[in-house]
Amino acid sequence: MNLVKITRMCTQDGIPSSELDKLDEDAWRPLLATYRMIILALEKEAQEHGLPRREFEIMEHLSSADGLRMRMVDLANLTGRSKSGICRIVDQMQASGLVRRNICEFDRRGVYVILAEGGEEAIARFRPFYAKFVRHNFTDLAPHYPHEPLGRAIRHLRELHRSDSPIPEET
């Protein structure tokens, strides 16, 4: 995030602030705590189903991409991973037959990650579990809450951050 954005975000009435206000804390901390709880639960259950969440996330992006492929750098940005981090994961997935790589025909420096047949089969097996998980841990918990405004807000935040560097990798 650049300094101008940080300054704009930390300014109240034109005076820079290093403290979060009550409204920020009321939204930010619960968001982080909820994200961690859901991701930890998904990690655990995904592992029990034989498909690590990070691999599922990559295959989910590939399965919705044109030609079931994406440039490695775009996949890194979408998943919030560094170039070396995404390469390590893709290496493991390629060894397992879930994805394959191709050199970009337009830019020989670029590499495409392509969903392989094994990946299509794995994601087809995992999607019903994933849909059930999302419903159980998100939509069914607040059935009367309008999810569209939350979705719009999250998509808006994602768009604002797209041009910035990837988020730090999870450990």
Mapped to the 3 state alphabet, what secondary structure does 55-84 carry?
Answer: HHHHHHHHHCCHHHEEEHHHHHHHHCCCHH
Residues of the chain below pLDDT 70: 1-18, 23, 162-171
The amino acid sitting at 119 is G
Identify the pLDDT of residue 88: 96
Q: pTM score, two decimals?
A: 0.72
Sequence-distant (6+) residues with CB within 8 A of 16 are 7, 10
Identify the pLDDT of residue 21: 79
Identify the pLDDT of residue 15: 52
Q: Are 129 and 66 in contact (CB under 8 A)?
A: no
Identify the pLDDT of residue 81: 92
Identify the pLDDT of residue 16: 54
**DSSP letter (8 states) at residue 97:** T
Q: Are 120 and 62 in contact (CB under 8 A)?
A: no
Identify the pLDDT of residue 2: 41
- What does each C-alpha distance from 44 to 37, 48, 54, 61 come to in angstroms? 11, 6, 12, 21
Q: Rounded to an integer, what distance in angstroms lies between the CA atom of residue 118 and that of residue 115?
A: 8
Length of the chain: 171
